[in-house]
Each structure stands twice: as structure tokens, then as C-alpha cells.
Amino acid sequence: MATLGTIGVAAPSAQAAETAAIPFRSLTYGASYYSGSVSFSNRSVSATGILHSVSGSGCRFASVTPYVGSTEYPTYRSVIYCNGASGTVTVGAPADVPGGPSSVVVGLWTYDPATDTATLVRTTKPIAR
């Protein structure tokens, strides 16, 4: 399992050049899903989309894992939605190097609060800047 960081979006530097939002294919697990787009800035990347968990299916959260070339940076996760809850979530991660991340992988996870177990169930292919 990837190391999970804190919830949040890193603040870009003053010279940050945002990219246009790049849509990603909906990540589904049963009838649960995370669907949205990613945006890169000078030293971070974020994903914004709809996270939906199905009633009776447990909990779900989304994640982003930035890459600079082939170097993987820590994974950051979104808030958790459980048993039919859904909403717009943004999850961001820093890659504090000039130019920021070159790509990102977005993930959909299941979470069992009874056992405090998270499982990565779907990912995008690397999405390039």
C-alpha cells in the first residue's frame, strides 16, 4: 500500500503556471466511482471530481500520486465518503521541485473503518502534464 499523506492541496509558488484541467476516465468499483480532472501547477498537482459511494458498500476515498520523471512522490488522499454519500472532492499533492510533477496517477480506494484497512482498487494510467 502506498504511503498516505495528509488531506489537502499544496499552495503553489507565486510563479506557478497552472495547466488546463485534464479530464481522467472515471474510476469505478462496483457502482462507486471517482470522476473528474487533474491540474498541474509549478510545484503541485491536484484532482477535482465527484466521489460517490454506494449505500451499503462501505467507504471510498480518492488519491493522487505525483511523479517527477520516474521518481514517485508521496500519495495524498481525499476525505472519505461512506454508504451512499457523495460530493465534489479535491485532493492535491506537492512535488517541490522546479517545474513540479511531470505526471500523476489518480486512485480510488475502499476503506473499512472497523479494521482501519484501505485497499487501492482502481488507478488511472499516468496522466502527463
46/3: higher pLDDT: 46
Q: Quick check: 49 and 70 in contact, CB under 8 A?
A: no
In this structure, what DSSP letter does residue 9 have? -
The structure's pTM equals 0.84
Q: What is the mean pLDDT of the chain?
A: 88
**Which pLDDT score is estimated for 1?**
42
pLDDT band at 17 (very low <50, low <70, confident <90, very high): low
Q: Inform me whether the pLDDT recorded for 32 exceeds 70.
A: yes
What's the one-letter identity of residue 69? G
Strands (E), 1-129: 22-29, 32-40, 44-52, 59-68, 71-72, 76-77, 81-82, 86-94, 103-112, 117-123, 127-128
Q: Inform me whether the pLDDT recorded for 5 exceeds 70.
A: no
pLDDT digits (tens, 9 = 90+) for 71-110: 999 999 999 999 999 999 999 999 999 989 999 999 999 9
Q: Quick check: 24 and 48 in contact, CB under 8 A?
A: no
Q: How far is CA 98 from each of CA 7, 59, 80, 95, rounded to the nearest angstrom?
A: 23, 36, 31, 9
Mean pLDDT of 1-30: 65
Mean pLDDT of 20-34: 95
